[in-house]
């Protein structure tokens, strides 16, 4: 083998090694970029889930408040009526209840 041929083989090996190293570095960069993209996606998904949970909680609270309002109004009205009953009528009602229970 001539010196020139050996030199070309050595140069080809060096070039091949450089290509391998560049490829390995490129693969590592791609892996890193993929991992970062995956992490960002997971973070965004967690934020969306948290926002959806908050929206559902607020919706449930609103629906509960809408259901509760008429009942509260009705109960307050009944309490007012009961508070307006005269003491004599109240005693009469209590006496009748006692009579029904005892008698």
pLDDT at 85: 76
Phi and psi at 86, nearest 5°, equal -70, 150
pLDDT at 92: 87
Per-residue tens of pLDDT for the chain, all 103 residues: 788 889 999 999 999 999 999 999 999 999 999 999 999 999 999 999 999 999 999 999 999 999 999 989 988 888 888 788 788 888 888 888 888 888 7
pLDDT at 84: 83
pTM of the predicted structure, to 2 decimals: 0.54
Question: Which DSSP letter does residue 2 get?
Answer: -
Pseudo-torsion of CA 38, 40, 43, 48, nearest 10°? -100
């Amino acid at each position: 083998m001539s010196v020139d041929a050996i030199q070309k083989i050595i140069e080809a090996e060096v070039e091949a090694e450089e290509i391998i190293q560049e490829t390995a570095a490129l693969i590592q960069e791609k892996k890193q970029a993929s991992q970062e993209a995956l992490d960002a996606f997971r973070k965004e998904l967690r934020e969306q889930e948290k926002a959806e949970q908050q929206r559902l909680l607020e919706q449930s609270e609103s629906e509960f408040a809408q259901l509760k309002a008429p009942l509260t109004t009705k109960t307050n009205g009944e309490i007012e009526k009961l508070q307006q009953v005269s003491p004599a009528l109240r005693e009469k009602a209590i006496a009748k209840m006692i009579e029904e229970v005892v008698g």
